[in-house]
Structure 1
C-alpha cells in the first residue's frame, strides 16, 4: 500500500504536542487538516498539563490525554511508572497513526519511541537525523539554518507531507456562550460603556519576554490620560503581585482579573476586548484565535511566534543580539524590551484601534465589540 493511501486510511490518529498552551493553539490549523483530510477520523491530543485547556476547547479534538514528559523542560522529576503506564494506555487505544509536533529546537525521538513502544504503525515528525525505525515518515529538519517559518506554517507543512491540508488556517478556541455572557456581565459592572477600554496582559513565563513593570505603569497612564482608554489587566494567580505593583505605580484607575479566570474565561475576556496589549506569550495566540487585535511587546527571542492572521503591531527595540532563543537575557540588559518606550506602545495601540475602526465600520456590531465600547 502506498504511503499516502496508508495515511488516508488512518482513522484513529494521535497528535502529540507536549509543550505549552500557545504552542497547542498554534497547532490547531494542522490538527484541523489532520481531522478533515479523510472521512470519519477521530483525533486524540496528547499534551502537557500546560497545554491541556487549549486542547479541551479545540473543536477538532475528540479527546485530550495529559502527559508531562520527562524530556520536556518544565516537567517536574518523577519516576518511570507513569511513563510506562502512558505507553500501555496509548497501546490500548490502538491508534493508526501519530503525528509529533515540535519546535525546531526539540528532538522528536523520545516521543517517537513512545509511539513505537505503543505499536502505532504510522509515525510522523520533523527530524534532524535519520530516525530509522522510530519514525515511519519524517521531514528533514532545516531550521534555523535555512530560515525559520512561522510555527503555524511549520506544522501545516508537516501534515501536508502526508496529504493532509485545510483551507481554514485560523487558530481555534471554542468559547461557550454562557462563559462569554458571564465575562460580559463582569465587565459591565466595572467599566463605563461610553468609553473605550484596553486589556493588558503583563506576565510571561520567561523573564526575557517581560516588558518592565515601570514601563507598563507609564503606558497605562498615557493610555488613560492622553487617549481616554479604561484599563483592564489579566494574569494568572502567580502574576497578581506583578499586576498590583504596576497598578500601584500608575496614577489611573484600573481593574484586574489576575488569578480570577480559568483558561476559557480568559479566552472570553480577550474575545470581548477591543485590543490586547501583551508580552509575547499565550494570550497573544488566544487573541489570534478569537480575532482580537493585538499589540505584541515582542522580545527578540523566537521570531516564529508572532500573531497569526489577526490585526496586530509587533513592537521591540532592535538589538544586535536579537533572536537569542533564550528564556533569560544572556546579555543581562534586556534592551529589546527595556528600551521600547511606553509612548510608542500607546501610539501603536491608538493607531491599531483607528485602523480596525475603519476596517469594521460597515458592521456596527463588530465595531462596538472590537474597537471602542463594551458589548
Structure 2
C-alpha cells in the first residue's frame, strides 16, 4: 500500500450500489470514515432506493448520487449514454478520494477508477489494478462488517467498533404504534419475515407458519407477519397456513416504520435478508435462517442474542440465487429447530412476555 493521503480529503465518494443489508453492514465503516475525516463531504453512490438511507444516516453522509450503471456491475441495467453522463458528472465533482466499497473489486474497481478521484481505494481480487492507490487483497476470512472496517483502517480511520445502527424518527415510531397498538395485551410479540430477495434464501412459507404456531401454543405469542409489497403473496401463504391468527402487515410499512415495528417486537424470525440486520441494529432478539449464504460473512456477530439456524450441507455456501437441485440447505431446517432457538431465549428470560 502506498500512502498518498498527504492532506485530508475534502470530498469523498463511497461506491456501494447494493441493497439494504449490504448498506447496514457498511455503517460501522461509514462511522469510521466520518471520525477519520470529520471535515470532509462524504457522498454515497448507491442504488436509487438508498437516497432515503443516506438521509437517515446524515450523521455520516452528506450527499447522495444514484448509481447509473457501469459495465460488469449487475445491479443496474447498462445504458451506455446514461453511464457516460454519470461518469462525466462524477469526474466533474472533483473527488479527492473515491472508495470502492462494492466488493472484491473484480467488477467494481474499473468503475471506481473511472470516477477520476485524486486517490482511489478499495480491495482487489487477483492482480492489483493500475491506479488503485490504496488497496489490499480482498479478505475472505471475516464478516462483512470487519471486511468494511479493514478498508476504513487502511485509510487511517479509527475503529469505533462493529455495532450496527438504525436511527428511528418520531414518524417511524408513530407509524409502528398505529399498526401495533390495536393489538390486545398478551404474550410476546413475535415478528416473522418470510421473504427474501432471492428464492434460494427463502424457507418454505408453511414452515414459517408451523414455527409461529409452536410459539403461539407454547408462549401465547402474538405473531406479526412482515414483508415488502412484493412479498405480500408469500406472507399471505404463511397466514393461511397458520392455526393462530397473525397480524398481517406485509406491504403496509415504510422502511422506517418496519424498523420501528421490529424495535417493539419481543422476538424476530427471518430469512437472511435486510430486516434481519435491522433487528441486530436495534437489539431485538432474533433468529436468522441460513441456507446458501455464508454465516461467517453475513450472520450477526452476537450469536447469543441473535442465533442462526443452519444445517450444514456440502454445497453450501453457494452463490446461486435459485437452487439448481433440491434446496436441501433450507429444506432440512425444521420448524421445531427454529422454534427451539426462540424458546431458548424465551426460557432464559431474555424476552418479556407482555406488551
The TM-score, its normalising length taken from structure 1, stands at 0.87
Q: How big is the shift at 1:92?
A: 3.1
Q: How does 1:1-375 map to 2 (within 5 A)?
A: 3=3, 5-6=5-6, 9-58=8-57, 59-70=59-70, 71-76=72-77, 78-104=78-104, 106-115=106-115, 119-143=116-140, 148-189=141-182, 191-303=183-295, 304-309=297-302, 311-330=305-324, 332-355=325-348, 357-358=349-350, 371-374=352-355
Asked whether the equivalents of residues 11 and 40 of structure 1 are also in contact (C-alpha less than 8 Å), the reply is yes
Alpha-carbon distance in 1 for matches of 2:230, 2:208: 18
The change in CA–CA distance for 1:373 and 1:65 in structure 2 (over 3 A counts) is: farther
Cα offsets for 1:63-99 (capped at 9, x unmatched): 22111424333423x4222212212221232221011
Q: How big is the shift at 1:50?
A: 4.5
Alpha-carbon distance in 2 for matches of 1:160, 1:176: 31
Asked whether the equivalents of residues 215 and 221 of structure 2 are also in contact (C-alpha less than 8 Å), the reply is yes
Alpha-carbon distance in 2 for matches of 1:132, 1:335: 39
Asked whether the equivalents of residues 95 and 120 of structure 1 are also in contact (C-alpha less than 8 Å), the reply is yes
Tell me what 1:365 maps to.
none
3-state secondary structure, aligned to 1:200? strand
Count of residues in correspondence between the two structures: 350
The change in CA–CA distance for 1:106 and 1:5 in structure 2 (over 3 A counts) is: closer
Cα offsets for 1:236-272 (capped at 9, x unmatched): 1111111111111111101111111121111111112
Farther off after superposition, 39-48 or 300-309: 300-309
Q: How big is the shift at 1:152?
A: 0.4
Asked whether the equivalents of residues 108 and 125 of structure 1 are also in contact (C-alpha less than 8 Å), the reply is no
Asked whether the equivalents of residues 106 and 125 of structure 2 are also in contact (C-alpha less than 8 Å), the reply is no
Cα offsets for 1:200-223 (capped at 9, x unmatched): 100001111100111112112111
Asked whether the equivalents of residues 73 and 108 of structure 2 are also in contact (C-alpha less than 8 Å), the reply is no
Alpha-carbon distance in 1 for matches of 2:299, 2:53: 18
The TM-score, its normalising length taken from structure 2, stands at 0.92
Alpha-carbon distance in 2 for matches of 1:93, 1:73: 24
**Structure 1 segments unaligned to the other structure (5+ residues):** 359-369
**Structure 2 segments unaligned to the other structure (5+ residues):** none
Q: How big is the shift at 1:142?
A: 4.4
Asked whether the equivalents of residues 25 and 54 of structure 1 are also in contact (C-alpha less than 8 Å), the reply is no
Asked whether the equivalents of residues 128 and 142 of structure 1 are also in contact (C-alpha less than 8 Å), the reply is no
Asked whether the equivalents of residues 312 and 352 of structure 1 are also in contact (C-alpha less than 8 Å), the reply is no
Larger helix percent: 1
Asked whether the equivalents of residues 18 and 69 of structure 1 are also in contact (C-alpha less than 8 Å), the reply is no
Q: How big is the shift at 1:132?
A: 4.2
Asked whether the equivalents of residues 105 and 124 of structure 2 are also in contact (C-alpha less than 8 Å), the reply is no
The change in CA–CA distance for 1:4 and 1:271 in structure 2 (over 3 A counts) is: farther
Aligned alpha-carbon RMSD (Å)? 2.0
3-state secondary structure, aligned to 1:372? coil
Alpha-carbon distance in 2 for matches of 1:244, 1:142: 40
The change in CA–CA distance for 1:35 and 1:309 in structure 2 (over 3 A counts) is: farther
The change in CA–CA distance for 1:371 and 1:92 in structure 2 (over 3 A counts) is: farther
The change in CA–CA distance for 1:214 and 1:337 in structure 2 (over 3 A counts) is: same
